[in-house]
Structure 1
Amino acid sequence: MVKIDLTGKTAIVTGSSEGIGLGIAIRLAEAGAKVIVNGRHQEKLNSAIAEVKKAAPEAEVVGFVGDLGQAEGCDALVKAHPACDILVNNVGIFSPQGNFFDIGDDCWQNFFDINVMSGVRLSRAYAKKMAEKGWGRVLFISSESGFNIPEEMVHYGFSKTAQIAIARGLAKTLAGTGVTVNSVLPGPTLSDGLKKMLEPEVKKTGKSYEEAAADFTKNLRPSSIIERAASVEEVANMVLYAASPLASATTGAALRVEGGILNYL
């Protein structure tokens, strides 16, 4: 069995107080990395830190409270933690807003600030230092929606396409430095956010979250080959590999962990 060892590495995972971000933080900690967990609320962050430590009792886990959708929040994170070896730009929001013509400027700007500019600002701050050391990993948690733009969430799809483009361009910028940059493309994932969205259906039908998520996937993403939502752990496993020394020849890639939804080779 291949063992991924991140001992001696420091990882920052943004938006990691729940969901996919928390799953990623747990996997990195289990592999021996020091992990900086981020969220906007102290109580929720404390709970996340406890979960990471429960899964990886020997790991060093540090919390940072801050809104990374604002430049001030990103600056505060960099001031508190000036360097890292692994940066996972995971913080993001999504919500179906319906008709394109009803989505106002404020909504577009909010999605851009949180989903796109947080990763731009933090990558700008950390990637240059990684290059100076000759090793680093930058990951953008994008989505299959970056290619398969949902008509009910054009603003979300746009922000995810932007992440893929930034990751590709930054990988080229860092050519030959030992720093890799990739985007990761989950599909429907049984995260806390999806569970919250499915809760009315679960209560109404008595189905499990897994069953309701499978129905959701088949209805909204009928091209899915696995015909179910991925687990948080399945997405985190892809991120763990991409963050590891094993992925040294993988850069500038859009790594798909979306169950085959994207209908191209």
Structure 2
Amino acid sequence: MDIQLKGKRALVTGSSSGLGEAVAKLLAAEGATVIIHGRNKERVQATVADIIHLGGSAEVAIGDLSTDEGADAVAAAALRSGQIDILVNNAGETSHKSWGDATTEDWLSIYNTNVVSYVRMIQRIVPQMKSLGWGRVIHIGGGLAIQPIKEQPHYNATLAARHNLSVSLARTLKETGITSNVVSPGAVINPMVEEWLQNAASKFGWGTDPEEIKYKAVQDLIPNDTGRFGKPNEIAGAVAYLCSRYADYISGSVLRVDGGTIRCL
């Protein structure tokens, strides 16, 4: 099925690895030119080379979105070869500190990185979309925005802020042809998570077999209807759908891709 992304230009923040890389590679496979963003020039260039090797089109944007100057540099690089039709706000960080560990400085730092960085890119990219009469803004949120846990309260709060700002943006963009939506992943498997699971297995009694460890971890930590972790390409598929013309009538929404982890109507 052609999701009508050929000729579109998409900036995916934090796309030199992980979920952002999966999103960028899928959009490129669907015909979009993707701007790969990161702070590490070598990793960004390696991702661009991978996409081009596979027949896609990709460009480089280097910069730290936690500063205005870095966001300016990223926006300038992204817009150098043409207007941006699609902005996927994905860059951010996690923190596993608890209420007793997270200082006020930790709260300020993660809010700047996870929320204000999104705002910086919205302010620099969305205005030029209005002249196109069409655009997509996708924010990566998370289930902890809806059902926070007692741990990592500062991180949970940043996800909730992302969900909130995305809906506010959708209201602001009324009748412009630009939509604003959230993709809310559940727990997604990646090398860092797999390493943590292996290290924690003995503590929780999950055994030694990697597949058994993953299954038992799901049951104990993130019970869901699929009985497993999500995969980056499954989240990327949801992003690609919301970027497509088939999603013209979706705005201000949260698309949960969590295997049924979050139990709400």
Give the TM-score normalised by the residue count of structure 1.
0.92
**Per-residue deviation, 1:261:** 1.0
Listed as ranges, the gaps of 5+ residues in structure 1 are none
**Per-residue deviation, 1:48:** 2.1
**Per-residue deviation, 1:264:** 1.0
**Match of 1:240, SS?**
helix
Aligned residue identity for 2:130: A
Q: Does 2:155 align with 1:153?
A: no
Q: Is the 8 A contact 2:94 2:155 kept in 1?
A: yes
**Match of 1:152, SS?**
coil
CA RMSD in angstroms comes to: 1.8
Aligned residue identity for 1:149: P
**Per-residue deviation, 1:122:** 0.6
**Per-residue deviation, 1:202:** 7.0
- Give per-residue Cα distances to partners, 1:73-125, cap 9 Å, x unaligned: 11111122233100000001112113x13211221112111110111111111
Instruction: Pick closer, same or farther for the CA change 1:246–1:196 going to 2, 3 Å.
Output: same
**Cα distance in structure 2, aligned partners of 1:148 and 1:217:** 17
Give the match for residue 207 of structure 1: 209
Q: Is the 8 A contact 2:180 2:252 kept in 1?
A: yes
**Cα distance in structure 2, aligned partners of 1:247 and 1:173:** 18
Q: Is the 8 A contact 1:201 1:212 kept in 2?
A: no
Aligned residue identity for 1:38: H
Q: How many aligned positions are there?
A: 259
Q: Is the 8 A contact 1:36 1:62 kept in 2?
A: yes
Give the match for residue 243 of structure 2: 243
Give the match for residue 231 of structure 1: 231
Q: Is the 8 A contact 1:19 1:193 kept in 2?
A: no
**Cα distance in structure 2, aligned partners of 1:212 and 1:71:** 42
Aligned residue identity for 2:199: P
Match of residue 74, structure 1, among 71, 74, 83? 71
Instruction: Pick closer, same or farther for the CA change 1:207–1:42 going to 2, 3 Å.
Output: farther
**Cα distance in structure 2, aligned partners of 1:187 and 1:121:** 26
**Structure 1 residue runs of 4 or more that deviate by more than 6 Å after TM superposition:** none
- Give per-residue Cα distances to partners, 1:46-66, cap 9 Å, x unaligned: 232233334xx2221112221
**Per-residue deviation, 1:201:** 4.4
Q: Mean Cα displacement is larger for which, 111-120 or 161-170?
A: 111-120
Aligned residue identity for 1:9: K
**Cα distance in structure 1, aligned partners of 2:27 and 2:231:** 16
Give the match for residue 5 of structure 1: 4
